[in-house]
Structure 1
């Protein structure tokens, strides 16, 4: 009887399926690309940040010296770096909410109907996102011109004085934000539009029967169901604005008086204008840490909202 009981409880391996290597074969190219183009550059940049690499070091590695945390010490003592940090957070605090609300507003308007006119405006709103930044900068440079720009010409109709759009540090930052918001609405608008069209119409019909107004339907149905889309847009937009580079690089080159320089532009100037690659790598790693912290905060807030 004891022998029979032992045989009965003996584990059986007949139901186990062998581990297949097929999934790993399919994901291997993506993992390899991620390691080569994302992980390795981060590790290399971290290593370079502890050296004094410059153009001589690239041509001959013997000219590279290990300097420890000297680059970080000099970086923390550089007032221009802190100016770039302030400007970047200025861009983020104002630009990110403007992009999100503008994209949501445009999506709500364009979701009102599916006629040819509304489809035409969807294309119009999306076009800035795929237009070359240099072409945009040339056109907006004429618009911002103090003497003959369209914006100041329109203000002159109301007897308002000319505004130095790109000559005053604070106004120049706001001008670049306006340009970037106009350019960044398109992609986020499409994401919101897709999320809006995925909401079942039954919810709105039931709410209408219960007597809910359009405002109540928006805050009780539409906005909560756009939560994931809003989270995705917030994270990607925040990361993009922390790397704010193209607009100040093309329009102002960081001026006037370093009033529009961002961290990304500061890194570019340190690395490619002054050939101080070790110092630029240190600044880029600081930016990398800031982006990681901001992203983790967003995920933490999202997790708390999901638990409520």
Structure 2
């Protein structure tokens, strides 16, 4: 593909799925790692535009990624011909001087302020999808009691912002099946939870998303980055499949997620173009029944994830 090719002419990586009522590529881009390129803005812009040129048409971001830096990079990288659906998340804010790079911000007024910050740094009048990052599932950063906020109060605020035209659709992140069931009347379009071949605790939540036709967008799709916690790429069966197919273990792990459920949309992140291209190529991998059965037989490990 030549530089400057528009996304409309590129095949969608991984085929197509639905997100907020729109047809998108099943492999998108998770922008969190762009913060690693804070000293090389041209490289970050080039990486994003390469993703768009290769058919990526949905990007996952948040204002608290680099305290607005990542959103600003996306704003600059988007061109008039790019038709990219931008998904953000609220529920935390940047805290550069704190013990963690972010702190929990769950109160309704904090959600509203976060969305205003998203609109400003992205340069948008309306954000296509906003995920409410709850604290119900997966490991998270410590938070005080006053950050234990009722779901209904949060959804009321996000619904008011949707009615006002600030956001177009609402998603959830790091939630349990019960929380999703409670939120269904608000019109949830996607769910982001930690999930991979070796961390399948949320199978029931995935089934609920399938029944409700809600996009399932797993984060940490290759397992945890925490030392000592299971990683998909360490599994002997994954490595054997990768060697047989001439692919990398990471590509096999991503491909398994696409095969496991048609509701799955992926948002793998990277700060290098070569890794980006490898991630997108995972969408072309097919498994025969024997190979898929061998991967399915890999035992799931207890989920343990860093904050997201």
Q: Please, what TM-score do these two structures have when normalized by structure 2?
A: 0.23
Structure having greater relative contact order (Cα 8 Å, sep ≥ 6): 1
**TM-score if structure 1 supplies the norm length?**
0.23
Structure number, greater radius of gyration: 1
Which structure shows the bigger proportion of residues in helix conformation? 1
Normalized per residue, which structure has more strand?
2
